[in-house]
Amino acid sequence: MGPSAHTSTGDTASLAQALRPSGIRPSEPRDAAAWDAAATVADPEIPVLSIEDLGILRAAACDQRGVAHVVITPTYSGCPAMETITEDIRTALSDAGFSQVEVVTVLSPAWTTDWMSETGRAKLREYGIAPPTGRAAGPVRVGLSVKCPRCGSLNTKEMTRFGSTSCKALYQCRSCLEPFDYFKVL
């Protein structure tokens, strides 16, 4: 077993705490292998995005007993997709050779669209959904124009505040006239 500060505890909850879920891929090879396996899991609602792209994947680490621990934060509380995601993580890690897997859900700090990666934003755009513009963190939530994912025009307007899901709003492009979903800043 390699020396690693966070493997001093075998308790799942305290390990998750000790991991300080950062959403950053670990550098230790075995931890990184667990992260990479978990990172292949797709979001059930937007299958083009992985849980890494969305920032749902917060940490991955193996303890002294060889148990792989994966920490996830749901995009919103009570997200029904989390059960599917948890099962998919277990399968992905099992396929990658991890015989024991613990998936821990951490609700605080709450997930924010700020955690969505640049890759994730690009994939979302290609999928036809406008990615969140601006940042949720900071004293002022800056309102930026929403760009049409089809033609790139900033001349867009909000049609309805709530689109196909509560995290999206329905927009229409004034240039190409196409309606599209906008993933709101949360």
Q: How far is the CB of 47 from Zn ion (least distance, A)?
A: 24
Q: Quick one: 166 or 175, whose CB is closer to Zn ion?
A: 175
Strand bridging mode 68-72 / 101-105: parallel
Applying the rule CB under 5 A, the residues between 147 and 186 that interact with Zn ion are 148, 150-151, 153, 173, 175-176
CA nearest neighbour of 141 among 129, 149, 133, 130: 133
Residues 6+ apart with CB under 8 A from 181: 128, 129, 130, 163, 164, 168, 169, 170, 171
User: Rounded to an integer, what is the distance from CA 109 to the centroid of its chain?
Assistant: 13
Q: Quick one: 9 or 172, whose CB is closer to Zn ion?
A: 172
Site string for Zn ion, 121-150 (x = CB under 5 A): ---------------------------x-x
CA nearest neighbour of 154 among 132, 175, 170: 175
Q: Quick one: 77 or 155, whose CB is closer to Zn ion?
A: 155
* DSSP secondary structure string for all residues of 124-171: HHHTTEEPPPS-SSSSS----PPPPTTT--S-EEEEES--SSTTEEEE
162: tokens are 């709530």
Q: How far is the CB of 130 from Zn ion (least distance, A)?
A: 10
Peptide bond before residue 80 is cis, with ω within 30 degrees of 0: no
Site string for Zn ion, 34-73 (x = CB under 5 A): ----------------------------------------
The footprint of Zn ion on this chain (CB under 5 A) covers a number of residues equal to 7
Q: Quick one: 24 or 122, whose CB is closer to Zn ion?
A: 122
Applying the rule CB under 5 A, the residues between 99 and 118 that interact with Zn ion are none
Q: Quick one: 91 or 153, whose CB is closer to Zn ion?
A: 153
Contacting residues toward Zn ion, per CB under 5 A? 148, 150-151, 153, 173, 175-176
